[in-house]
Amino acid sequence: MVQKVGIIKTDDLVFEYIRRDEEGNVEGITTAVDHVSLDIAPGQFIAILGHNGSGKSTLAKHINAILNPTEGTVWVDGMDTTDESNIWEIRQRAGMVFQNPDNQIIGQVVEEDVGFGPENMGIPTREIWERVEESLRAVGMYEFRKASPNKLSGGQKQRVSIAGVLAMHPKCIVLDEPTAMLDPNGRKEVIRAVRGLNDVEGVTVILITHYMEEIIHADKVFVMDKGKVAMEGTPREIFSQVERLKELRLDVPQVTLLAYELQKRGMDLPNGILTVEELVEALEKQTKNGRN
């Protein structure tokens, strides 16, 4: 029997930032990631939550070898990230999208920007154009292919950044707070595009965010605190624990919080309600019971 190999696997990963004074003497050591072991199966939609400074971005940077572990090992599609000879292969298989769209776009024209990655990989010109087209279509930006990136909205720019990663045909995309700078519509567009990549193209997604509503469809959620995985489970399991999340400086979606508040006031509702539809249905049941 063939065992399914995780696309991203970390084993006892530790990362320490060493702070030095002007003479280069060690002033202190901060353990940003503290013995984290993860195993992410291909095609999963993974969400990582955690307060500022909890270690989520440091963890993410290990996934495409921007950082190397102080201790432990990270494998991307079976390749050890500390092996220098794997670096380009790893960065092509696990692409990364950051918070600020303006720092990630270099091309003068949208399609040129998206073609930059595959061009650097030495892909033949004709195939580059094919990849640019399919990537822009996947994020719903094909009609803007001839536009100048600085004429686009934040959400549109961020989708161009995602297309740029997609054109390298990665197996996995890591998005580090891709919606933090966007307006409500931009957030919606980006999350829809990311879910499409996962559902339709089967790309493994690792989404880091501070917006709880964005991850209710994730297969699995990891909550980081002090460099460790403090909670893990499905969104419903995680969001059922309102008080625990608040202790970790996090929150739950508004609809979950409203249901929790109604429970506290004596209403009989199930734990971990995630959508408006679920709450409306649960309240309708209440009406019926009340009338009986």
Partner 1 sequence: MQLILDHVDHVYEEGTQMARKALSDICLTIPKGQFVGIIGHTGSGKSTLIQHMNGLLKPTSGHIYFEGEDIAEKDYDRKKLRSKVGLVFQYPEHQLFEIDVFTDVCFGPKNLGLDKKEVQLRAFNALRKVGLPEDLYYQSPFDLSGGQKRRVAIAGVLAMEPEVLILDEPTAGLDPKGREEILRQIKSLQKETGMTILLVSHSMEDVAEYVDRIIVMNRGSILYDDVPRKVFQHYRELEEVGLAAPQVTYIMHALRERGLPVDADATTIREAADEICRAYGIA
**52 is a contact residue toward partner 1 (CB under 8 A):** yes
Site for partner 1 in 177-236 (CB under 8 A): 177, 180-187, 210, 212-213
Strands 220-225 and 45-50: parallel
Specify the residue, 202 or 285, whose C-beta has the smaller distance to partner 1. 285
**262 is a contact residue toward partner 1 (CB under 8 A):** yes
**121 is a contact residue toward partner 1 (CB under 8 A):** no
Helix axes 184-199, 154-166, angle to 10 degrees: 20
Site for partner 1 in 76-95 (CB under 8 A): none
**117 is a contact residue toward partner 1 (CB under 8 A):** no
Burial readout 106-123 (b: 16 or more C-beta within 10 A, e: otherwise): eeeebbebbbbbbeeeeb
Q: Which residues pair with 228 in a beta bridge?
A: 225
Stretch that binds partner 1, among 106-114, 133-141, 229-237, 242-250 (CB under 8 A): 242-250
Specify the residue, 60 or 76, whose C-beta has the smaller distance to partner 1. 60
**155 is a contact residue toward partner 1 (CB under 8 A):** yes
Among 31, 70, 153, 234, binds partner 1 (CB under 8 A): 153
Q: How far apart are CA 127 and CA 132, in angstroms?
A: 9
Contact between 260 and 270 (Cβ < 8 Å): no
Stretch that binds partner 1, among 83-91, 105-113, 141-149, 251-259 (CB under 8 A): 251-259
Tokens of 126: 């004709």
Among 39, 108, 261, 285, binds partner 1 (CB under 8 A): 261
Stretch that binds partner 1, among 79-87, 137-145, 199-207, 243-251 (CB under 8 A): 243-251
CB under 8 A, 24+ apart: contacts of 241-250: 248/50, 248/51, 248/54, 248/223, 249/51, 249/52, 250/49, 250/50, 250/51, 250/212, 250/223
Amino acid at 290: G
Stretch that binds partner 1, among 65-73, 125-133, 232-240, 262-270 (CB under 8 A): 262-270
Contact between 167 and 141 (Cβ < 8 Å): no
Query: How many residues of this chain bind partner 1 (CB under 8 A)?
Result: 44
* Beta-sheet strand order (sheet of 26-40): 26-40, 8-20, 71-76, 79-80
Question: Which positions touch partner 1 (CB under 8 A)?
Answer: 19, 50-53, 99, 153-155, 177, 180-187, 210, 212-213, 246, 249-251, 253-255, 257-258, 261-262, 265-267, 276-277, 279-280, 283-284, 286-287, 290
